[in-house]
Amino acid sequence: MTALLVDRIGELVTNEPGGRDPLAIRRDAAVVAVDGRIAWIGPAGGAPACDVRVDASNRAVIPGFVDSHTHLVFAGDRSGEFAARMAGEPYTGGGIRRTVATTNAAPDTELSANLAYLQRELTRQGTTTFETKSGYGLGVEQEARLLRIARQVTAETTFLGAHLVPDEYADRPDDYVSLVCGPMLDACAPHARWVDAFCERGAFDADQSRAVLTAGIAKGLAPRLHANQLGAGPGVRLGVELGAAAVDHCTYLSDADVDALAGGDTVATLLPGVEFSTRSPYPPARRLVDAGVTVAVATDCNPGSSFTSSMPFCIALAVREMHLTPAEALWCATAGGAAALRRDDVGTITTGAAADLVVLDAPSHVHLAYRPGVPLVHTVVASGEIAYQ
Ligand code: NIG
Ligand code: FE
């Protein structure tokens, strides 16, 4: 039995549900983790002796970030595409094909090394739970390979064979959908928890996305969807109808989309790194929160539309550009991400939850948005162990 104590916490963000303050902040607190779980929360100085002690010295402590949307298994770089966008080119998603080519040409060792590098980036920036997906293989063996590699680092793996129609199927996209729903799903389902599709003009329409999600559900996968990123469309409503845990992007929403989200239990996952990196309008976060929709904020870390692994950066964007308060943005990046992954063991600092927490080099969580671009992660505890200091 290993016990770890984080003591002398100035501001403890617990996200304990039920109170009036969604962050449920406690002051002058201490937390004890035993065998990877939170075992005790109480006043600073009042905790039992432990094997390991972290002195927070009146800093703020928050739950580890839950990044519920990333694409981390790939090879290559698309910085040229980013530079062209900043010079006025639009983002269309077509660059995905370039990453598919470099990814499929890379050996497993290179993909695993890239993934490990990005995972370290996430950890150093306070992320303790993350989802990641396939989608840069677009073939049966290729997609299964990406998921096998992803499974080595996270249980939150998503099958995204329906990311784009590969060139060889350009004139018969429904044959590609049949491949995705049949042999590709068979090969991928053992390595995935989730099934996803890119429901967007130029990618997959509502019928094709429905076919993929329905086939995945029949194989025991849980649905989520990329929707309404590049324009208005049916994706958000389809996701709600199919009981998706989350619809991701939500950049262009109609009144009917907001009503559907407010009437269901699908989380709206907002990915402001995409709008930053594609110079697009930001999603209507304020409107969603005010309508009572559960919102998550995630990075979408990928080499095309958003090559950031930083949840603090996304929080700063959510506050400055999407009009969330610092408290709301932090909730969306922790408890909101947990809701998007249908997890109740992460995203909070409550007894029995995973002992995943971040000591900030700041007296308050507000500094995450108030001091954008400043590395404020002092110590990361993941499953009760010091993962970064
Ligand atoms: O979530 N929207 C589709 N997929 C990714 C982008 C992938 C890429 O550009 O490589 C996204 O933004
Ligand atoms: Fe994505």
Domain with CATH 2.30.40.10 in the chain: 3-64+348-388
How many A from CA of 193 to the centre of ligand 1?
20
pLDDT confidence band for 330 (50 / 70 / 90)? very high
Question: What pLDDT sits at residue 20?
Answer: 87
Tens of pLDDT, residue by residue over 264-318, are 999 999 999 999 999 999 999 999 999 999 999 999 999 999 999 999 999 999 9
pLDDT higher than 90, residue 319: yes
Q: DSSP label at 252?
A: S
pLDDT higher than 90, residue 19: no
Q: Tokens for 25?
A: 């902040």
Tens of pLDDT, residue by residue over 331-363, are 999 999 999 999 999 999 999 999 999 999 999
Closest Cα partner for 236 from 221, 220, 225?
Answer: 225
For residues 136-152, average pLDDT: 98
Name residues whose C-beta falls within 8 Å of residue 215's C-beta, 6 or more positions apart in sequence.
Answer: 180, 181, 182, 185, 195
**Ligand 1 atom at minimal distance to the Cα of residue 91:** 9
* Probe residue for ligand 1, chosen from 300, 306, 308 as the CB with the greatest number of ligand atoms within 8 Å: 300
DSSP-H helix ranges across 43-192: 79-86, 96-105, 108-124, 140-151, 173-179, 185-188
For residues 20-29, average pLDDT: 96
ipTM of the complex: 0.95
Give me the percent of the chain exceeding a pLDDT of 90. 98
Pocket residues for ligand 1 (CB within 6 Å)? 71, 93, 95-96, 99, 198, 226, 229, 274, 300, 302-305
Q: How many CA atoms lie within 13 A of 80 on its CB side?
A: 5
Q: Tokens for 252?
A: 């262009």
pLDDT confidence band for 93 (50 / 70 / 90)? confident
Tens of pLDDT, residue by residue over 280-289, are 999 999 999 9
Cα–Cα distance measured from residue 280 to residue 284, given in angstroms and rounded to the nearest whole number: 12
* Probe residue for ligand 1, chosen from 69, 71, 133 as the CB with the greatest number of ligand atoms within 8 Å: 71
Nearest protein Cα to ligand 1, atom 8: 304
Question: What pLDDT sits at residue 28?
Answer: 97
- Domain 66-340 listed as CATH 3.30.300.30: no
Nearest protein Cα to ligand 1, atom 1: 300
Cα–Cα distance measured from residue 60 to residue 28, given in angstroms and rounded to the nearest whole number: 10
For residues 9-27, average pLDDT: 96
Nearest protein Cα to ligand 1, atom 5: 305
Nearest protein Cα to ligand 1, atom 6: 305
Question: What pLDDT sits at residue 94?
Answer: 86
Tens of pLDDT, residue by residue over 193-215, are 999 999 999 999 999 999 999 99
**Ligand 1 atom at minimal distance to the Cα of residue 78:** 10
Higher-confidence residue of 94 and 134: namely 134
- Domain made up of 3-64+348-388: CATH architecture: Roll (2.30)
Question: Where is the binding site, in residues?
Answer: 69, 71, 78, 136, 163, 226, 229, 300, 302, 304-305
Name residues whose C-beta falls within 8 Å of residue 120's C-beta, 6 or more positions apart in sequence.
Answer: none
How many A from CA of 246 to the centre of ligand 1?
16
* Cα dihedral sign, 316-322-328-332: negative
How many A from CA of 268 to the centre of ligand 2?
13
How many A from CA of 21 to the centre of ligand 2?
31
How many A from CA of 274 to the centre of ligand 2?
9
User: Mean pLDDT of all residues in the chain?
Assistant: 97
Domain with CATH 3.20.20.140 in the chain: 66-340
Q: Tokens for 260?
A: 């559907």
* Probe residue for ligand 1, chosen from 102, 305, 307, 314 as the CB with the greatest number of ligand atoms within 8 Å: 305
What are the angstrom distances between the C-alpha of 306 and each of 98, 188, 319, 367? 15, 25, 18, 23
pLDDT higher than 80, residue 1: no
